[in-house]
A and B are shown apart, each in its own frame.
Chain A
Amino acid sequence: MVKIAVENLYFRYPEAAGFALRNVSFRIEEGESVAILGENGAGKTTLAKNLNGLLKPTEGSVKIDGVDTRSLSVAKIARKIGFVNHNPEHQFFAEKVEDEIRFGLRNFGFPEETIDKIIQEVLSVFGLEEYRGKNPFQLSGGEKKRLAIASIMAWRPEALIVDEPTIGMDYAQKMNIRRVLRRIVSEGRCVIVITHDVDFAATICERAIILSRGEVIGDGRLRELLSDDELVEKASLRKPFIIELEEETGLTGLEEDFDILSSILMEVFQKCRS
Chain B
Amino acid sequence: MSFLRAFKYRRKDTVVHRLDPRSKFLLSVVLMMVSIMFADIRVLLVLISGQLILLFLAKSLGEWFSSLRGLVFFFAVIFITQLLFGGTFYTGIVLSLRLVALSSSMSWFFLSSTPEDIGRAMSVAGLPIELTFSFTMAIRFIPVIYDEFQSIYDTQRSRGLELEKGGFRDRIRNLMPILIPLLVGTIRRTYEIADAMEVRAFGASPKRTTYKPLKLKSGDYIVCIASAILVVSALALKMVYGVE
Contact = CB atoms under 8 A, between A and B. Distances in A.
Interface of A: 49, 52, 54, 73-75, 78-79, 82-83, 85, 87, 89-93, 103-104, 107-108, 137, 151-152, 155
Contact of A79 (B160, B178, B179): B160
Contact of A54 (B152, B157, B181, B184): B157
Interface residues of B, number: 20
Given A79-B160, A91-B155, A137-B184, 16 more contacts: A54-B157, A74-B157, A75-B157, A75-B160, A75-B161, A82-B158, A85-B154, A89-B184, A90-B155, A91-B159, A93-B181, A103-B161, A107-B159, A152-B158, A152-B159, A155-B160
A103 B161 CA distance: 9
A90 B152 contact: yes
Contacts, number: 64
B176 A87 contact: no
B203 to A, nearest CB: 30
Interface string B168-210: 0000000011111100110000000000000000000000000
A93 B160 contact: no
Nearest to A75: B160
A85 B151 contact: yes
A73 B162 CA distance: 9
Nearest to B182: A90
A78 B181 contact: no
Contacts of B177: 91, 93, 103
Given A73-B162, A75-B162, A91 B156 contact: yes
B159 A104 contact: yes
Contacts of B155: 83, 85, 90-91
B148 interface: yes
A103 B159 CA distance: 8
Interface of B: 148, 151-152, 154-162, 176-181, 184-185
A78 B184 contact: no
A93 B176 CA distance: 7
Nearest to B157: A74
A83 B158 contact: yes
A85 B158 CA distance: 9
A91 B154 CA distance: 9
Nearest to B149: A90
A155 B155 CA distance: 15
B190 to A, nearest CB: 15
A103 B160 CA distance: 9
Contacts of B151: 85, 87, 90
Contacts of B157: 54, 74-75, 78
A107 B173 CA distance: 13
A73 B178 CA distance: 19
Contacts of A108: 160
A93 B159 CA distance: 13
A86 to B, nearest CB: 9
Contacts of A49: 154
Contacts of A93: 176-181
A91 B185 CA distance: 11
A107 B162 contact: yes
B161 A107 contact: yes
Contacts of A78: 157-160
A54 B158 contact: yes
B192 to A, nearest CB: 13
Contacts of B178: 93
Nearest to A155: B160
Contacts of B158: 52, 54, 74, 78, 82-83, 85, 152
B160 A54 contact: no
B148 A90 contact: yes
Given A49-B154, A54-B157, A91 B181 contact: yes
B234 to A, nearest CB: 38
A134 to B, nearest CB: 15
